[in-house]
Amino acid sequence: MRTARDIAAAVRAGQVTAAQVAERALAALAADRHVAVTRVLAERAMAEAAAVDARLARGEDPGPLAGVPYAVKDLFDVAGLPTTAGSASRTGAAPARADAAAIRRLNAAGAVLCGTLNMDEFAYGFATVNAAFGTTRNPHDTARLAGGSSGGSAAAVAAGLVPLALGSDTNGSVRVPASLCGLYGLRPARGELPLAGTFPFAESFDEIGPFAASLDDLVLAWGVLRGEAVSPSEDAPRVARLGGRFRENADPAQLAAIDMIVPGAPLVELPDIRRARSAAFVITAYEGGHLHRDALARHPMAYDPAVRDRLIAGALLPDALYEKAQAFRADYRARIEALVAGFDVLLAPSAPCAAPLIAEPQIMIDGALSPARADLGIHTQPITFTGLPVLAVPLRRPGQLPLGLQLIGKPGGEGALLRLAAELEDRGITGVTMPESVLAGEMT
């Protein structure tokens, strides 16, 4: 699959038209066999591609993403369409009046929106098992989960349908599918990227972020979304490994890679990890439940039963418990920032294992089988709690199921994440390996 940067360069050079690129992407999305796509936006995409070609014909620069096709998780507002947030209960909702802010920024940079993508209903899950739209399949093995809740976004990029996709991350919903599908993914620092026009899940934690099959493409999209380029730091980053709970329930290959990155790097143990994850559960459940409380009272049977019951439970949580969890969060973040002040990057696993089978959606946690839909985020959820920026990177594992790591930075310290990520690629520790089906298609 060609990278976003290569596509944009080819379009600007006149080697291919944006319309031709869009036609190919639309055909790929329409032929999707991974249950990643919910809507193919052919009319819109061709109009946007024609606008890019027209600007080029006038001698104008359409932008750094000129003619690059992309797709978005189905919780971003797309003007003229209902924002389903992955729920059958919203397929008849009033159409969005305007595009989400993130879509507007990508389109202003010349990108072409081609489709919307599958997700866990209302983003409540780590598996993209959706009662209305189906279960998204992992392009590396279609018998396995793609992760969630942004599984459609990850699968669309991993399958080579589009070079870029947008997802959202509340407790790991970009980082988990990036790990399971072998991609780069971003959860930015709190408030760095625009949330306007996205359907919320838990507003205390919600963030948006891109998926890409190359580090360069992710950095390019990140800069467009934030409104200014992100550059690697000049200084070598000070790196530490997260210990304690982050050394448990992880694949041995993840731990070996972490230990290889900076041999002898300090091992830092974050305090109260179990309590932090419990507090994150409380905040997520409370905010999600209260957001849906009125709709649940009117139309409870329109919800996926697995999601409905969790939202009802959240809506019944007492205010005092929520306030206690939020107070703990504020204190916890201050303690964590003080603890890691001497480091630029913290290393941790992303998802705790390779993609589980769809037919057996369970993973081993603390020696016992646990539902993948709830516990694939065991290592991402406590980091969400801190609000720190995280770059998810794929381990280089040709011929094996993907695994990923989290590179965790400081607010304003994203340059250190990029420098380390580039070094890891150069050393062959990380990097995207496309599925065999995609590679075979490129050779035919």
64, 261, 347, 360, 415 from 157: Cα distances, Å: 19, 27, 25, 24, 24
Q: Residue 322 contacts by C-beta under 8 Å, 6 or more apart in sequence?
A: 282, 283, 286, 287
Active site residue 173: yes
Give the C-alpha separation, 136 to 148, whole Å. Answer: 9
Question: Nearest Cα to 191, choosing from 442, 24, 411, 37?
Answer: 411
Q: Strand, coil or helix: what is 410?
A: coil
Q: Which of 149, 153, 204, 350 is catalytic?
A: 149
Supply the DSSP string of 345-371, one letter for each residue: EEEEESSSSSPPBSSS-EEEETTEEEE
Pairwise CA distance, residues 79 & 100, whole Å: 8
Q: Is 305 helix (H, G, I), strand (E, B) or coil?
A: helix
State the CB neighbour count (10 A cutoff) for residue 163. 28
Residue-wise DSSP of 147-183: -SSSHHHHHHHHTTS-SEEEEEESSSTTHHHHHHHT-
CA separation for the pair 134, 131 (Å, rounded):
6
**How far separated are the first and last CA of the chain, in Å rounded?**
12
Which among 229, 238, 332 has a CA at the least distance from the CA of 278?
A: 332
How many degrees, rounded to 5, is the angle at CA 222 between CA 209 and CA 146? 35
The answer to whether residue 149 is catalytic is yes
Q: From the candidates 73, 87, 179, 350, which is the catalytic residue?
A: 73
Among residues 89, 168, 173, 204, the one annotated as catalytic is 173
Q: Which residues are catalytic?
A: 73, 149, 173
